[in-house]
Structure 1
Amino acid sequence: MSYGIKAYKAVGVKDDLAVADPHRVIQLLMQGALENMAKAKGFIERKDYSGKSTTLSKAMAIINSLQSSIDMNVSGEISNNLHSLYGFMHEHLIVASREMSIEKVQEVMDILLTIKSAWDQIPVADREAAYSMRAKNTQEVGVA
């Protein structure tokens, strides 16, 4: 890919993030992790150890960010399960990297695609209700 195209794509993502609501930011993070894992599979096939390491490291960093963004005070069971899933995905990518396993990378991609699919289906009204609830809780904590 030429430098110009890469620069254009980078600016596009930065512009998208600049105006994104929290829901969209999570979507972009998930997409970034999926893209890096897809690239890693290609690097593993070509036995490009450097490329594999770089892309899997990026995917793991994104997964860690997703995990740390979970509000553990909301929906206890869902939050705990999602936190555990992200931990599993991170550990599974470590094993995939060590074993040069395309299959293990694909397993993580399949899990993240399932999560992303559910995330993408959250209705706008539910998102806005969650933003309002979070803002209210933040104000109450700030006042106390």
Structure 2
Amino acid sequence: MNPLDAYMKNSVQTASPLEQVILLYDKAIVCLRAAKEDIKNGDIKSKISNITKVGDIIRALDSSLDFKNGGEIATNLHMLYDFINRSLFEVHAKNDLQLIDDLIEVLSRLKEGWEGIQSKV
């Protein structure tokens, strides 16, 4: 394992649940930006890998939702995560750069919301 991977693994393992959510949003955004560059460069294999990583992250975030205690917020996040997952299929099929930008914007706003919560904790 290279030093950066070891650092990232340690960061995730020692992060609070809230910090882990923020790290997951960060990683999803990074992968979407990379997928956008992959499309521009015609690197299909890397595009597929990056889009797959984003899908895995979104499914992990979705599976961690607590509908009993999260109420309407959990339900809304679930619907949003479902939209993102469906949009990833469209990005893959159509190489839609604008949709990638839209997804980056959605994830960035969600990340900012969680960071706002973190600053109050």
TM-score of the superposition, structure 2-length normalised? 0.94
Query: Aligned-pair distance for 1:41?
Result: 0.3
Task: Indicate whether 1:37 and 2:32 are aligned.
Answer: yes
The answer to whether structure 1 residue 113 and structure 2 residue 108 are counterparts is yes
- Which stretches in structure 1 are left out of the alignment for 5+ residues? 1-5, 127-144
Report how many residues are paired: 121
Deviations 1:40-78 (A, max 9, x none): 000011111111000000011101101111111123111
Corresponding residue to 1:104 among 93, 99, 102? 99
Question: Which residue, out of 82, 86, 92, partners 1:87?
Answer: 82
Separation of aligned partners in 1, 2:92 and 2:27: 18
Q: Which has the higher contact order (CA 8 A, sep 6+)?
A: 2
* 1:46 corresponds to which of 41, 51, 60: 41
Structure 2 unaligned segments of length 5 or more: list them.
none
Greater share of residues in helix:
2
**Structure 1 residues 19 and 43 mapped into 2: Cα distance closer, same or farther (>3 Å)?**
same
Q: What residue identity is the alignment partner of 1:99? A: K
| TM-score under structure 1 length normalisation | 0.79
Q: What stretches of structure 1 move > 4 A for 4+ residues in a row?
A: 123-126
